[in-house]
Amino acid sequence: MILEYPEYFERFRCIGGACPDTCCAGWEVDVDPDSAEYYKSVTGEFGERLRKHICEDEGECYFPLTEKRRCPFLNDKNLCDIYSNIGEESLCQTCTEYPRYFMDIGNYEQMDMSLSCMELGRIFYTETDKITYIRSENDVEGEVLSPEEQGTLIEVLALRNQCISVMQDSTDSFPQKMDTVRALVSEAQGEDPSLKDSTRAFLKEDFNDLSLLLSSMDSISPEWTEKLDFYRKLAGSPEELSKMETFAADNADHLDLWMSKTAVYFIFRYFIDTCIDGDIEHELCLLHRSLTLIQFMLFAEWLIKGSVDVSDMIYVSHLFSKQVEHDDGNVAKIKNLC
């Protein structure tokens, strides 16, 4: 199988108790069958505690959250009691892999890390000038694709690489680069780029539409609920929105760099989904909406604080990613699949 992943994949190390956030709160932890089986066999007091918290629904095991919406094994120091009682090797697949994700189609596997992890965000925005991708091979055989499926995969990966190159190598402004990406997609669809944009409904959405879309998702935390409340008020205030031009002018250089880099993340992560969704318009919609919302969230921080720096960019990308990217239903909404 061919493996492809960004260079920072190898540099990342979880900082555990020193993390400004925790990845063990806000979402239920899915427990893979092997780990569930093992947890059921652990003896002693800790084994009892494991069994008390493991739940099963239609054959799928998970740890439900506590009232404070934390993993039941996350202690007061934000450290994991499973790790400290029965060792790192006993963590379930979800906890071992996070913030990594794996996506394979045929003989190709794509690996990346989620911006919901703020340590990854720090590496991504402050220690990575240009994202380079590493390819390697292993002996694992992937599922056999039909010639048509294989052809689609090759075309999608080529288009993805072309769009990443636009975002990283062009000296155009970020909005111009987004125009170029949409034009490249239109050409690949055999459409006239100058006409296709007029049919893309997502380009006509305003901040009210987008904040309503966010409101249709279950909130992952009280922090998100509070922020969303602010975003909704902001989206409905022409007076506040009129300050966006000043925000964009004051932060022009940083915004171009941060937004282009964030676009690379979304293009690499999601364009391959075209092989499953069947129409790259869904991935283009996700790209446009995600970047518009992240920039809007950064604008909101600027209004609150009077200025923004890279730590705010790390924060809003993390917040967006945590709320949207780890729930298939939310991703489907952003892609306009439902």
Which residues bind to ligand SF4, rule: CB under 6 A?
Answer: 14-16, 19, 21-23, 98-99, 117, 119
CB of 23 to ligand SF4, least distance (A): 3
Give me 45's structure tokens. Answer: 């007091």
Q: Which helix (H) or strand (E) holds 257?
A: helix 252-270
Nearest to ligand SF4 of 46, 83 (CB atom) = 83
* Dihedral sign, Cα of residue 264, residue 269, residue 272, residue 273: negative
CB of 46 to ligand SF4, least distance (A): 21
Nearest to ligand SF4 of 274, 321 (CB atom) = 321
Nearest to ligand SF4 of 66, 136 (CB atom) = 66
Nearest to ligand SF4 of 23, 284 (CB atom) = 23
CB of 175 to ligand SF4, least distance (A): 31
How many Cα atoms are found within 13 Å in the side-chain-facing hemisphere of 184? Answer: 21
Longest dimension (CA), the chain: 68
DSSP string, 95-117: HHHTTEEEEEETTEEEEEE-TTS
**Of 211, 296, 12, nearest in space to 127 by CA:** 12
Nearest to ligand SF4 of 23, 267 (CB atom) = 23
Q: Alpha-carbon distance 305 to 74, whole Å?
A: 32
Q: Alpha-carbon distance 276 to 267, whole Å?
A: 15
CB of 202 to ligand SF4, least distance (A): 30
Buried b (16+ CB within 10 A) or exposed e, 67-99: eeeebbbbeeebebebeebbeeebbbebbeebb
CB of 119 to ligand SF4, least distance (A): 4
Which residues are registered as beta bridge partners of 223? none
Nearest to ligand SF4 of 283, 325 (CB atom) = 325
User: N- to C-terminal Cα distance for the chain?
Assistant: 33
CB of 30 to ligand SF4, least distance (A): 16
Neighbours of 190 (CB within 10 A): 6
CB of 5 to ligand SF4, least distance (A): 17
Nearest to ligand SF4 of 119, 281 (CB atom) = 119
Which residue reads 């100058």 in tokens?
A: 194
Nearest to ligand SF4 of 91, 293 (CB atom) = 91
Give me 170's structure tokens. Answer: 């062009």
Buried b (16+ CB within 10 A) or exposed e, 112-128: bbbbbbbbbbbbbbeeb
CB of 21 to ligand SF4, least distance (A): 5
CB of 43 to ligand SF4, least distance (A): 28
Nearest to ligand SF4 of 71, 259 (CB atom) = 71
